[in-house]
């Protein structure tokens, strides 16, 4: 039986979507993966673009409010940003609830940046999330 994992982030538009896509792609036999947010926004097209560079298509994923997943009993709940950690400190997890924070790519983008500079920010965060996913067993 697959273990259920929920990645939480405020907007459920970038980091949690990347984490969901990565875990689904890297360990599909072991985990049933979800993501949600406390104030969901549409999926960030730059996140979709940098994930596609790895051959992972997250364009079909959708942003969800955490309340939409209230009937699911998760084995692990992982917050990826401070906002979600503070907004949902007691979201239930059967086995473990923990926080692993990552920079918010849209918050790091500055006016006047070239697209390649912006993509490099997204790639860095994507790669940090990927390394976390690859080492997930050490956290669980």
Tens digit of each residue's pLDDT (9 = 90 or more) over 5-55: 999 998 999 999 999 999 999 999 999 999 999 889 999 999 999 999 999
Quote the tokens at residue 37: 């947010």
| 103-120 pLDDT per residue, tens | 999 999 989 999 999 999
- In the chain, domain spans: 3-138
Query: Of these residues, 5, 6, 8, 9, which one is catalytic?
Result: 9
In whole angstroms, how far apart are CA 100 and each of 42, 49, 82, 138, 140? 22, 23, 9, 12, 12
Angle (nearest 5°) at CA 26 between 31 and 6: 40
Quote the tokens at residue 123: 């790639």
Catalytic residue status for 88: yes
Query: Of these residues, 23, 88, 125, 129, which one is catalytic?
Result: 88
Q: What is the 3-state secondary structure (H, E, C) of the chain?
A: CCEEEEEEECCCCCHHHHHHHHHHHHCCCCEEEEEEECCCCCCCHHHHHHHHCCCCCCCCCCCCEHHHHCCCCCCEEEECCHHHHHHCCCCCCCCEEEECCCCCHHHHCCCCCCHHHHHHHHHHHHHHHHHHHHCHHHCC
Please state which of the four CATH numbers 3.40.50.2300, 3.30.70.920, 3.30.70.120, 3.30.230.10 is assigned to the domain occupying 3-138.
3.40.50.2300
Query: Of these residues, 81, 118, 125, 136, which one is catalytic?
Result: 81
Residue 86 pLDDT class (50, 70, 90 cuts) = low
Catalytic residue status for 9: yes
Order of all β-strands in the sheet with 31-37: 31-37, 3-9, 76-79, 96-99
Question: What's the pTM?
Answer: 0.92
């Amino acid at each position: 039986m697959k273990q259920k994992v929920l990645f939480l982030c405020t907007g459920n538009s970038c980091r949690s979507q990347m984490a969901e896509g990565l875990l689904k792609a890297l360990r599909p036999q072991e985990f049933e993966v979800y993501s949600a947010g406390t104030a969901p926004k549409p999926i960030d097209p730059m996140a979709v673009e940098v994930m596609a560079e790895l051959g992972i298509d997250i364009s079909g994923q959708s942003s969800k409010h955490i309340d939409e997943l209230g009937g699911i009993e998760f084995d692990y709940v992982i917050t990826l940003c401070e906002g979600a950690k503070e907004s949902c400190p007691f979201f239930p997890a059967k086995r473990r609830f923990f926080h692993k924070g990552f920079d918010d790519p849209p918050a790091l983008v500055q006016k006047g940046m070239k697209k390649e500079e912006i993509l490099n920010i997204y790639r860095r965060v994507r790669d940090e999330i990927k390394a976390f996913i690859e080492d997930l067993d050490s956290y669980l």
